[in-house]
C-alpha cells in the first residue's frame, strides 16, 4: 500500500499523504499508512501518529453537538426550531429569516451568501481575524448581523455552502450549553472529545512541540508544481471553530467516525440514541420533502455530511472533505461494510489525489 500511496503522492506533488481504514466491527481496528514528509524540503517523515487538520470535517462534529444539545433533559430545542425560538436575544431578524431552522443552518439551506455577507461586514470580519473579540463574542456579533440582512435565496429552498451557518450553530451552543461548559470550545472538549477518549484532538493549527519545530505535519499552500510551506500556525480564526478548526490523530478521529457508522446502522451509542442519527445522516431535501434538484443540494444533511452511493462499499455512504486552505482531508463513513476511511495531506488542495486514494480504498487495490 505504501508504494501505491507514494505513487499518488509523487504524481500530485504532495508533501505528505496518509490513508486509514477503520474496521468498526473489529473493535475499531485501524490499518493506516503514511508516506512523504511533514514539510517540503525537509526529511522529517510523516507518520500515522501525527495530528492532521480536519478543516470542514469539524462541521459534522458541531452538528453532532447540536443533536446532543437537543437530547439534553429539559431542552426544548429541535432541528425544526426557528432562529427566533432558539436565539430569542437576536433582535434584528428580518421577516424572511423568521422561519429559518437549525436544520437549514446545518444543511446549508439558510439562504446565506458568505462572500456577500463578509463584503458587507468587512470591518467586523477584520476585527475577528485580528483577535479583537473572543471567539464567543465574535460568533455572537456575526449571528446578530447575519439575520439583519435579507437572505440571498429563500431559506429552505436552495443549497449554498456556508461557514457562517456553522458559526451561528456554534453561537447556539455558546448560548444553550450547560454553564459548566458554556462555549462551543468547552462543549466539544467535555461532551465529545472526553467521552470518546479522543485524546489526540485539539483546536486550531496543528501544534508543533516548540515553535518552528517539525514534529507534526507542516501546512503548505498549493504550488506549481511543488507545495509552498507557510507559517506553521496558519489557520482559520478561533471564532470559525464550529465550521473548521479541529485537528486530530487518526486513532482519535476514528472514534468519531465509528460513532457515526454505529448510529447509521441503528445502534444506540454512548452519546446519542439511534434515532438521533437519522436527521444527522438524511439529506435535507428528503427530510423536508423538497423535489430533487440534481445537484449537491440533493445530498447534504443537517449533520454536516454528503450522502451518496457506491456498490464498492455496500451502497449508501457519507462523505465530506475539509480544508483550511493549507491542509486537506477526506472522511468517509461506509455503514454497508461497517467501515470508515480517512485520507489526509498537508497541503491545501488535493482533490484528485484524494479521489484516487478513495477509489483504491473502496476497491482494495491499495492492498489493505
- pLDDT band, very low/low/confident/very high, at 366 (cuts 50, 70, 90): confident
Could you give the residue ranges of the DSSP H alpha helices within 71-156?
83-86, 102-106, 114-120, 122-129, 135-146
Q: pLDDT by residue (tens digit) across 41-83?
A: 999 999 999 999 999 999 999 999 999 999 998 889 999 999 9
Question: How many helical (H) and strand (E) elements, i.e. helices and strands, does the chain have?
Answer: 14, 11
Residue 162 lies in a domain: yes
Task: With H, G, I as helix, E, B as strand and everything else as coil, classify residue 30.
Answer: strand
Do 193 and 333 lie in one domain? The reply is: yes
Q: pLDDT by residue (tens digit) across 242-264?
A: 999 999 999 999 999 999 999 99
Q: Look at the chain and report how many structural domains it folds into.
A: 2
Distance CA 236, CA 125 (A): 12
Residue 250 contacts residue 199 (beta carbons within 8 Å): no
Question: Is the sign of the CA dihedral 13, 14, 15, 17 positive or negative?
Answer: negative
Residue 65 lies in a domain: no
Output b/e per residue, 308-333; b: 16+ Cβ within 10 A: eebebbeeebbbbbbbbbbbbbbbbb
Whether 1 shows a pLDDT value over 60: the answer reads no
Distance CA 264, CA 337 (A): 12
Distance CA 326, CA 40 (A): 13
Do 204 and 109 lie in one domain? The reply is: no
Q: Which of 146, 180, 214 is the last residue of a domain?
A: 180
Residue 189 contacts residue 246 (beta carbons within 8 Å): no
Q: Which of 141, 156, 180 is the last residue of a domain?
A: 180
Do 40 and 131 lie in one domain? The reply is: no
Do 42 and 98 lie in one domain? The reply is: no
Residue 69 lies in a domain: no
- pLDDT band, very low/low/confident/very high, at 297 (cuts 50, 70, 90): confident
Residue 156 lies in a domain: yes
Looking only at the bridges linking them, the beta strands covering 29-36 and 16-23 are antiparallel
- Grid coordinates representing 98? 423568521
- On the question of a cis peptide bond just before residue 252, with omega within 30 degrees of 0, the verdict is no
Do 56 and 97 lie in one domain? The reply is: no
Residue 163 contacts residue 220 (beta carbons within 8 Å): no
Residue 263 contacts residue 280 (beta carbons within 8 Å): yes
Q: Which of 180, 206, 225 is the last residue of a domain?
A: 180
Distance CA 351, CA 182 (A): 36
What CATH number does residue 357 fall under? 3.40.710.10
Do 230 and 140 lie in one domain? The reply is: no
- Residue closest to 76 by CA, chosen among 84, 86, 67, 65: 86
Do 219 and 98 lie in one domain? The reply is: no
Do 151 and 216 lie in one domain? The reply is: no
Do 200 and 171 lie in one domain? The reply is: no
- pLDDT band, very low/low/confident/very high, at 281 (cuts 50, 70, 90): very high
> CB under 8 Å to 287, separation ≥6 — which residues?
103, 279, 301, 302
Residue 68 lies in a domain: no
- Residue closest to 72 by CA, chosen among 273, 229, 314: 273
Q: pLDDT by residue (tens digit) across 321-337?
A: 999 999 999 999 999 99
The pLDDT assigned to 28 comes to 62
* Residue in this structure with the C-alpha cell 438524511, named with its chain if needed: 282
Do 172 and 117 lie in one domain? The reply is: yes
Do 140 and 211 lie in one domain? The reply is: no
Domain that holds residue 120: 75-180
The pLDDT assigned to 294 comes to 76
Do 269 and 143 lie in one domain? The reply is: no
Distance CA 154, CA 113 (A): 11
Please give the angle made by the CA atoms of 196, 326 and 342, to the nearest 5 degrees.
40
Residue 97 lies in a domain: yes
Residue 287 lies in a domain: yes
Residue 70 lies in a domain: no
Amino acid at each position: 500500500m505504501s508504494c501505491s500511496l507514494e505513487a499518488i503522492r509523487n504524481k500530485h506533488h504532495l508533501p505528505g499523504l496518509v490513508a486509514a481504514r477503520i474496521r468498526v466491527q473489529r473493535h475499531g481496528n485501524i490499518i493506516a499508512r503514511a508516506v512523504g514528509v511533514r514539510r517540503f524540503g525537509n526529511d522529517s517523515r510523516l507518520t500515522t501518529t501525527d495530528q492532521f487538520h480536519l478543516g470542514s470535517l469539524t462541521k459534522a462534529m458541531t452538528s453532532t453537538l447540536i443533536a446532543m444539545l437537543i437530547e439534553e433533559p429539559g431542552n426544548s430545542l429541535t432541528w425544526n426550531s426557528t432562529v427566533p425560538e432558539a436565539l430569542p436575544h437576536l433582535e434584528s431578524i428580518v421577516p424572511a429569516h423568521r422561519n429559518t431552522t437549525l436544520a437549514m443552518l446545518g444543511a446549508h439551506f439558510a439562504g446565506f451568501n458568505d462572500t456577500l455577507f463578509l463584503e458587507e461586514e468587512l470591518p467586523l470580519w477584520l476585527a475577528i481575524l485580528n483577535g479583537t473579540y473572543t471567539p464567543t463574542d465574535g460568533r455572537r456579533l456575526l449571528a446578530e448581523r447575519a439575520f439583519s440582512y435579507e437572505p440571498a435565496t429563500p431559506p429552505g429552498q436552495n443549497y449554498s455552502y456556508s461557514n457562517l451557518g456553522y458559526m451561528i450553530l456554534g453561537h447556539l451552543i455558546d448560548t444553550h450549553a450547560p454553564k459548566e461548559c458554556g462555549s462551543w470550545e468547552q462543549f466539544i472538549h467535555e461532551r465529545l472529545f472526553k467521552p470518546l477518549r479522543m485524546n489526540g484532538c485539539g483546536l486550531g493549527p496543528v501544534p508543533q512541540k516548540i515553535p518552528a519545530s517539525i514534529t507534526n505535519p507542516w501546512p503548505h499552500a498549493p504550488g506549481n508544481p511543488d507545495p509552498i510551506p507557510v507559517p506553521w500556525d496558519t489557520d482559520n480564526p478561533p471564532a470559525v471553530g464550529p465550521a473548521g478548526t479541529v485537528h486530530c490523530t487518526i486513532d482519535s478521529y476514528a472514534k468519531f467516525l465509528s460513532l457515526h457508522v454505529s448510529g447509521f446502522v441503528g445502534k444506540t451509542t454512548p452519546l446519542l440514541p439511534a434515532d438521533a442519527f437519522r436527521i444527522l445522516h438524511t439529506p435535507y431535501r428528503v427530510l423536508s420533502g423538497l423535489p430533487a434538484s440534481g445537484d449537491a443540494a440533493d445530498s447534504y444533511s443537517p449533520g454536516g455530511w454528503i450522502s451518496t452511493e457506491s456498490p464498492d462499499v455496500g451502497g449508501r455512504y457519507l462523505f465530506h472533505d475539509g480544508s483550511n486552505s493549507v491542509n486537506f482531508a477526506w472522511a468517509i463513513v461506509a455503514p454497508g461494510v461497517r467501515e470508515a476511511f480517512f485520507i489526509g495531506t498537508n497541503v491545501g488542495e488535493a482533490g484528485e489525489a484524494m479521489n484516487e486514494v478513495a477509489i483504491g480504498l473502496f476497491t482494495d487495490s491499495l492492498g489493505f
